[in-house]
Amino acid sequence: MVSRSSAPAPRPGLRLAGALILAGIVPQLAVIALFLLPPLSAQWQYVPWLLPAAGAAGWLWIAARFGRSLAGLQGLLGGWGKGDFASPTVAEWADAPPELQGLWDAARDVADTLRRERTDLHAGAERLESVFQAVPEGLLVLDSEGRIWAYNDVCRRMLRFEAADPRGERIESVVHNAKLVEYARTLMKTGRASQMELAAGDAGARAFEVQGAALRGQDGENTGFLIFFRDVTRIRYLERVRRDFTANVSHELRTPLTLIHGFVETLLDGALEDREAAARFLQIIREQTERLDALMDDILSLARLEREDQEPVPLEPLLVHEILRESLELCRVRAEERDMTLELAADSELVVLANRRLLEQAVVNLIDNAVKYSDSGKTVRVWAERSGRWAEIAVADEGWGIESRHLPRIFERFYRVDPGRSRELGGTGLGLSIVKHIMQVHHGQVDVESTLGKGSVFRLRLPLATGDSQQAT
């Protein structure tokens, strides 16, 4: 048995063809009827003339509807060319002839796809820019002709661009560093450049490692150049400190070791027979041994403090008055030997959050220096007071004072205002550096005021204990 399917629905194209055929045939039939049929009655005599007019009106209606729809599509495509990927409106889609509705559907799909792709492109560009700006080193991108195409904020701070936005400018018109400009030219000419170090900033205060590379497209052609800047100022500073420290330690060790070696040889060569001379030589050897011992203690203290800079230091609430009193007692014997007076004035309720051992070491170093670098019979005053959310500890002497030119470097390792006198008094040149490191561990600070011939005042600033931590031990 053969089944019969239902007749397919007429397609929009067939409907359009039928309408056009009908609109063309009806007027022609009306004209034929006008000439071949017998005359009509008066009430029907105008009908044949109206039929051509109706056909023409149908043609005009169809043309107008198609014209409006195509004009709408033209405007839509024009907007796409300007970046406005709008979809057809419901009204535009509904007003379109059935024969053009498929085209409007396709336009809507294309607009949706373009909008999604543009959104994805913008999101990708924003992510790329975020990554570019998040790189902790300086990045500078040049196009194939040497014009600045992109840079990150780190690069701007490093090179100190004069223009508000140097993109599009040639590098030599923006960067006033002949060495860097020459490096960029070499990179653009050869496509490669070896790593170099660049001094920049005021008086070359900053040091940067510079590395360049060519950017190539899929065809292997150069599309631009990337220059990478790494700030190595801190690294170079630490290298210099290490070299200076090694040289200073070698010097500080060599002097007492030379004396010890010389006097030991003298004793072995027969000076032991002279008891008075032998006793004097042995006293010198003991003093130099004590100097070496003090130097090694200070070096080890600095090493521990540098480790503690990287690791948390146990802190506890401490009564400042108690720390100062104990520190003065540790220095009292030496002060009495020089007929000096130690005075203390401190708020008995002042509490700081600190490490007892380190804070006491810092205060003792300052009091010991005040005693050491003052004339006999003078007074050393120690006091503590509240200053906002800080506790301020001061050690003031009536000593020889320090010239202003020395003050910026007074806390450097092995720096001495008077090297000869310092060594004579048993100083290692590390005491104030240790004080500075102790304050850094406590997130505090140390400073000094001094007048030559009148004395000095050293101040330690530490954060006060707050809240539950105020219960001092």
Instruction: Say what the pLDDT of residue 25 is.
Output: 54
Rounded to an integer, the average pLDDT of 96-120 is: 70
Architecture of domain 312-473: 2-Layer Sandwich (3.30)
Per DSSP bridges, beta strands 390-396 and 351-354 are unpaired
Other CB atoms within 10 Å distance of the CB of residue 381:
17
For 200-210, what is each residue's pLDDT tens digit?
766 567 888 88
How far does Cα 25 stand from its chain's mean position?
82
Find the range with the poorest average confidence among 23-27, 102-106, 126-130, 314-318: 23-27
pLDDT tier at 4, thresholds 50, 70, 90: very low
CA dist., res. 253 & res. 295, Å (int): 8
More confident residue, 431 or 368: 368
pLDDT tier at 99, thresholds 50, 70, 90: low
**238-311, CATH topology level:** Helix Hairpins (1.10.287)
Instruction: Say what the pLDDT of residue 396 is.
Output: 93
Instruction: Say what the pLDDT of residue 153 is.
Output: 84
Residue-range domain boundaries for the chain: 12-117, 137-231, 238-311, 312-473
pLDDT tier at 26, thresholds 50, 70, 90: low
More confident residue, 229 or 107: 229
Read out DSSP for 42-69? TTTTTHHHHHHHHHHHHHHHHHHHHHHH
pLDDT at 2 over 50: no
Amino acid found at 411? F
More confident residue, 111 or 442: 442
Which residues are within 8 A (CB) of 123 and not within 5 positions of it... i.e. 6 or more apart? none
Return the H-helix or E-strand segment holding 199. Answer: strand 192-200
For domain 137-231, is the CATH number 3.90.10.10? Answer: no
pLDDT tier at 308, thresholds 50, 70, 90: low
Contact 406, 455 (CB under 8 A): no
Mean pLDDT of the chain: 76
pLDDT at 380 over 60: yes
Buried b (16+ CB within 10 A) or exposed e, 53-77: eebeebeeebeeeeeebeebbeebe
**Of the candidates 211, 134, 198, 212, the residue with the CA atom closest to the CA atom of residue 160:** 198
Quick one: what percent of the chain has pLDDT higher than 90? 13
DSSP helix/strand/coil, 266: helix
pLDDT at 32 over 60: no
Per DSSP bridges, beta strands 379-387 and 445-451 are unpaired
The DSSP bridge partners found for residue 273 are none
For 397-437, what is each residue's pLDDT tens digit?
998 888 888 888 888 877 777 655 555 555 667 788 888 98
| Eight-class DSSP state of 71 | H
For 121-180, what is each residue's pLDDT tens digit?
777 777 877 777 777 888 888 888 888 888 888 888 888 776 678 888 888 888 878 888
Rounded to an integer, the average pLDDT of 284-288 is: 82
Instruction: Say what the pLDDT of residue 12 is.
Output: 47
pLDDT at 442 over 50: yes
Instruction: Say what the pLDDT of residue 196 is.
Output: 85
pLDDT tier at 181, thresholds 50, 70, 90: confident
